[in-house]
Amino acid sequence: MKRPLTPLSCPSTPRMQPPSPDAYAAFDCLHLLATVPPRLGGLTRNELHQFSFLGCLIDMYGGGITNEWGYSYVASRSGTPFSGALDETVDGLLLRGLITQSVNILNISRTGAVARDSLVSLQQNRKRAVALRAAATVVSALSLGSIRQAMLRSGPDLAAAVDLGVTRRLLGPLALDDLAGQFAAVRDAAGPTVDAAIPIAAWLSFLAGLAPDRDGGLDVGQD
């Protein structure tokens, strides 16, 4: 049973409450669809989950904490990130007319673009907007196939979900320790940089070059 639709931002109260997972997920959907490279013509739901997860990783690279991202992910049996909160939010945004769907491709509507422009200025969204825009930049630089393959090598959980045929929680303690080590190495190699998209793209390119596809070859350039 789906949760009732909630506002995109929290109302002002004497005692400020943290934004709900739905509010974070709604902004992320709108912001990603507003900044996705035009060559893609929009995103599928699966791609939206992947790029949201990539934004979360970029936020972590910049010093963010996973439990402050607002919602969590699991590894699907196909080895891709999935968020239940994000998926339900897509349904809600479609009902409100803030995004549109043609066949399986999602795009932001004019009404959604107006909502996104107002939400991007909120303090709660400023830091994540930077991470999500960096994710869109990475997508501009790399093929979707490269990103999918790199994610399979970014930690043990996604690959294990494919090998075992089960869903697994992502970004648990062991995975976070592993990512912390990888990100430290990337920072040492990249040096000081304002734009996290550059070192993250290099990291993903490296992982994609190591990642065997399911038939044993390499898949680093297929969309």
| Average pLDDT for 121-132 | 92
Question: Rounded to whole angstroms, what are the CA distances from 104 to 33, 41, 107, 138, 211?
Answer: 14, 11, 10, 23, 28
Task: Give the integer Cα–Cα distance in Å for 175 and 183.
Answer: 12
Quick one: average pLDDT of 102-110? 95
Written as one string, the DSSP assignment of 9-63 is SPPP-SSPPPPPHHHHHHHHHHHHHHHS-GGG-SB-HHHHHHHHHHHHHHHHHTT
Chain centroid, CA 160 distance in Å: 20
Distance CA 49, CA 53 (A): 6
Burial class from Cβ neighbours inside 10 Å (0-12, 13-18, 19+) for residue 179 reads: middle
Q: How much is the CA Rg of the chain, to the nearest whole Å?
A: 17
How does residue 216 score in pLDDT terms, banded at 50, 70 and 90?
very low
Task: Specify the higher pLDDT residue, 37 or 33.
Answer: 33
Q: Where are the domains of the chain?
A: 21-210
CA angle (84, 86, 92) in 5-degree steps: 105
Identify the weakest region by mean pLDDT among 62-66, 79-83, 117-121, 178-182: 62-66
Q: Which pLDDT score is estimated for 215?
A: 37
In angstroms, the CA 223 to CA 172 distance is 29
pLDDT above 70 for 38:
yes
Locate 129 and state its tokens: 């907007």
Confidence of residue 32 (pLDDT cuts 50, 70, 90): very high
Q: How confident is the model at residue 213 (pLDDT cuts 50, 70, 90)?
A: very low
Give residue 172's pLDDT.
80
The structure's pTM equals: 0.81
SS3 (DSSP) at 194: coil
pLDDT digits (tens, 9 = 90+) for 67-104: 788 899 988 877 788 999 999 999 999 999 999 999 99
